[in-house]
Structure 1
Amino acid sequence: MRRNQILAAFVAAIAFGSASFAAEPEKLELSDGKMSLVAPESWKKVAPKVRIIDFEFEAPAAAEGGDTGRITIMGAGGSIEANVDRWVGQFAGAVKQPMKEEKVAGQTVYLVDISGDFRDQRGPFAQAEIKKDYRMLGAIIKTEKAGQYFIKFTGPKTTVEHNEKAFKAMVNSLEVK
């Protein structure tokens, strides 16, 4: 009898407990709640690797066993051109598509698409690891009330392509209060 109760409790914990782990879209509050974005369900929220990043996510690989993508969201200063130039400098043999300017929620959003061999450098003095055939999608949100926010999505070309619609949906989910 006791064994059956334990087994039933175990089965119930698995059945009901797994529901609490189901991915749901996450609303991200930025700039002290002045604006928000909705992160895709398929992206896994992780602890930011550096303190200046507000939010960090891992995007699923395009194929099983492939490399995941890294998405970072942060507020920052500096000119748009200087930031984009720095991003291009993170790639060897960079191919940069023309930057696009769009309006989302009444705000100016600059979209960047860069590909090449990514120099993944984990710190200012760390040796860069070269990652072949990578791509970066970037969105720079320029607001009057909340300053600038930068969203960078970097990963293998196939992984970025696999998650590109989700990235664009997140950018288009922008709300400004």
Structure 2
Amino acid sequence: MPRRRLFITAAFLLLGVFAPWAFAGDTTDTQPVELLGMHSSVPADWQAQQPESNMRLAQFAVPVAGDGDGAEMVVYYFGPTQGGSVEANVERWQSQFTGPDGGSVEPEITELSTRLGDDFAATLVSLRGSYARGVGMGPSGDALADRMLLAGIVETPEGKLYPQLHGPAALVAAQRPAFVGFIEGLTRAPASAGD
């Protein structure tokens, strides 16, 4: 094992020992997620739920310590050629947020990688402000203050996945490493012995 990789691995192991909040991919602290012939994992304390619609492949409640709202993590899938471009989705998500002055909120956009191969790009969009969440264009219902949305657009062999984590800003920010870990951990599920 190269020296740099050994050092990085040791650093993550130390983080896992001294910082229990760190997400280092330890399988004892995670639960597997399988969808569309791919798999990854999420933290063990995220509570798997029955998806509320057939557009959701997976749905989790993210608990909060003490009083307050938890967050929700959902993986959307609209079909092999559906879901729209990165730009169209960013515009739609941005339209659901307002800043403290009532103006628009600028998204933070980050490129990620997965284990699916170089041909399958992943984009992470982060927005924070007052959030009137909706499925279509624009806001829907009353805006909730100090919320955060982490929204992924992930190219996969089966089409685009749209994982989203949304809820109180502090909770979502704390869970960002786990959410990014889910995206970056996506890989093709190994073939079963009978295949």
1:119-139 CA-partner distances (Å, limit 9, x unpaired): 035899x96022100001111
**Candidates 26, 32, 40, aligned match of 1:27:** 32
Indicate which of 90, 114, 125 corresponds to 2:127: 114
Deviations 1:89-111 (A, max 9, x none): 22123433431122221231101
Note the alpha carbon deviations across 1:46-72, whole angstroms, 9 max, x for none: 1223331111111122x4101100111
Q: Does the 8 Å CA contact 1:121/1:129 hold for their aligned counterparts?
A: no
Q: Which entry has the higher C-alpha Rg, 1 or 2?
A: 1
- CA positional deviation for 1:176: 2.4
In the superposition, the TM-score normalised over structure 2's length comes to: 0.68
- In the alignment, does 2:176 pair up with 1:164? yes
Contact 2:127 2:148 in 1 (8 A): yes
Query: Structure 2 residue aligned with 1:40, among 35, 39, 43?
Result: 43
| Distance in 2 between residues matched to 1:115 and 1:24, nearest whole Å | 28
Task: Name the one with the larger strand percent.
Answer: 1
Deviation at 1:27, TM superposition (A): 2.1
TM-score when scaled to structure 1?
A: 0.75
Query: What do you get for the CA RMSD once the two structures are aligned?
Result: 2.4
Q: Percent identity between the aligned chains?
A: 27
Shift in Å, 1:161: 1.6
Q: Partners in 2 of 1:90 and 1:51 — Cα distance?
A: 23
Match of 1:154 among 166, 180, 183: 166
Q: CA deviation at 1:113?
A: 0.6
- Who is 1:89 aligned against? 95
